[in-house]
Amino acid sequence: MKNAADPKKASKEEWLAKLRAEGNKKLSNAVSPPPQEPAPTIFPDMIWVWTAFCFLSERRGVGANGPVPITVEAMDAYGRLTNRRERVYLEQLLQFVPPLDREYLKDFYDKQQAEIEKSRKQSERQAPRSGRRPAPQRRR
């Protein structure tokens, strides 16, 4: 058993108290995140479309620049997987999933472009560190 007068224990308790105080100070100074838009209302008769889109979106392919569109073959496979082979079901799947997918991809690539622009502007603002001009390009 450790003695209450043990200097190691006292320093540990002081350290924890200091750490707790710093954490509380940071929390009190923290900026709250901006308010988010409320979640859209999904009508009960369209929940199956959202479920299908989420399932297909999680399994979408990824190309060199990011996610690729959900394919017709993937939607057909989803219909077979869920044992829904009615023509009306598949037509509705083909009608509703692609617009959701286009919006998802538009949002993704818009955010990606904004990040690229942000990093480009940041690299333009940075001055050369050495103070020297870059070496001239050789002519070929």
The boundaries of the domain holding residue 90 are: 67-122
Flag whether 49 is in a domain.
no
Flag whether 115 is in a domain.
yes
Flag whether 113 is in a domain.
yes
Flag whether 26 is in a domain.
no
pLDDT at 1: 47
Flag whether 99 is in a domain.
yes
* Residue in the structure block whose two tokens are 């989803």: 78
Task: Give the distance, in angstroms, between the CA of residue 125 and the centroid of all CA atoms in the same chain.
Answer: 27
pLDDT at 110: 94
pLDDT at 35: 73
Flag whether 44 is in a domain.
no
In this prediction the pTM is: 0.61
pLDDT in tens, the chain (140 residues): 455 556 666 688 888 888 888 877 777 776 666 777 777 788 899 999 999 999 999 999 999 889 999 999 999 999 999 999 999 999 999 999 999 999 999 999 999 999 999 988 888 777 555 556 666 777 76
pLDDT tens, position by position, 41-78: 888 999 999 999 999 999 999 998 899 999 999 999 99
DSSP state of 31: P
Number of structural domains (the chain) is 1
